[in-house]
Amino acid sequence: MTSSHPPLGILGMKPEEIAAVFAELGQPAFRAKQLVEWVFSRRAASFDDMTNLPKTTREALATRFVTRTMQIAKVTGSADTTRKFLLKLHDGRYVETVLIPANPALYGGKSDRRTLCVSSQVGCAYDCKFCASGLAGFTRNLTAAEIVEQIVQVEAHAGERVDNLVFMGMGEPLANYSNVTKAIEILNAEWGIGIGARHMTVSTSGLAPQIKKLADFPLQIRLAISLHGATDEVREKIMPVNRKHNLVELFEALEYWNAHRKQFLTFEFILIENINDSLDQARVLAKRARDVNAKVNLIPYNTVEGLPWARPSEARQDAFLAVLSNAGVTATLRREKGHDIAAACGQLRLKQETELGIIESPVPSRRITIGAGA
């Protein structure tokens, strides 16, 4: 299917919306409950499988909705390492979702938690200089169904449940606020996918107004900030969003978040040699983290041959970490490449769409592919 209108994916519908459809079809309310169970608990991939619904109802549903909107085009990695799933959307575009095996250091996850890094947009408008996802610009928002379906597709393929979600794949989740928050409600609901709100983290490049809005969202999800610079001067070099929402505005929004939330904040900080890895940056970062009670994830930049930026030496990484730790900030340093969420998203899709001629090959000097989502 190549229509530019997203098909109405049933995985993006809440029970009240499904009930309204059944009312329209002149069907009793209990039929709507049966459908919800087939869609979410039993993960039926076809209306034909929903055998306790009348055939005419199934046929009517199939003319209006689809149970799946995407296909798995490629999987890389293996069961005990990070697995990347390249998903082909109805309009021929691609997104990635990344399954990360148990890693106690991630987002309050416990050692037996499997984390999925999901995408929220095709491409991204925010143009962070270290990120593959933004290289070809923004194409479109994902629907709530497309966001939920990433989890459903991966669980079906992997044969295991995902119990930790990070909105850190392609796209800026808070720029697709309504679809992302609707997907979170479906993912969290007992009638839905059933993932605890505290095991979902939205990661943003720092859209201050939407952070405040999210602070008023009723589910107790976690928030991570892609900070990557402790001062405006440094942050602006690598994150153009900082010109629109500078650190004063961002931290005002984080104070608002803290006033409304119990969960700790997380700062993501990719260490890039001679860009943001000075001990002065570490000292300012420590103060900022203390001010809003945030923990810090340090992610050394993965050097790519022929590209201008470099990964700091381990000694320099350790010195940066020590400044944070000595200041009483909870900080982690994730060196193992395969497990870095930030190393995981965006690159596979970029390669695929470039090879297929959907997008032009990115400018080499910008191909600084740590490839993080927001």
CB of 266 to ligand SF4, least distance (A): 15
**CB of 176 vs ligand SF4, minimal distance in Å:** 11
Our CB check for ligand SF4 shows the closer of 35 and 170 to be 170
Strand order in the sheet with 331-333: 71-76, 83-88, 94-100, 115-117, 164-167, 200-204, 222-226, 265-271, 294-300, 331-333
Retrieve residue 13's tokens. Answer: 């519908």
Tell me how many degrees the CA angle 248-332-336 measures, rounded to the nearest 5: 120
Is 96 known to be catalytic? yes
Query: What minimum distance in Å lies between the beta carbon of 250 and ligand SF4?
Result: 13
User: Which residues are near ligand SF4 by CB under 6 A?
Assistant: 124, 126-128, 131, 133-134, 170-172, 205, 226, 372-374
**Residue 114, both tokens:** 């499997």
Three-class SS state of 195? coil
Burial class (CB in 10 A: 0-12, 13-18, 19+), 314: exposed
Sequence letter at residue 29: A
Nearer to ligand SF4, 125 or 158 (CB): 125
Question: Which strand (E) or helix (H) includes residue 20?
Answer: helix 15-24
Given the residues 117, 124, 128, 345, select the one marked as catalytic.
345
Q: What angle do CA 259, 299, 181 make, to 5 degrees?
A: 45
Of 162 and 224, which has the nearer Cβ to ligand SF4? 224
Closest distance of CB 37 from ligand SF4, Å: 35
Q: Which of 24, 96, 190, 255 is catalytic?
A: 96
d(CA 232, CA 115): 32
Report, in Å, the least distance between residue 210 CB and ligand SF4.
Answer: 12
Task: Kindly tell me which of 35 and 131 has the beta carbon lying closer to ligand SF4.
Answer: 131
Residue 106 or 345: the one with the smaller Cβ distance to ligand SF4 is 345
**Catalytic site includes residue 128:** no
Active-site annotation, residues: 96, 345
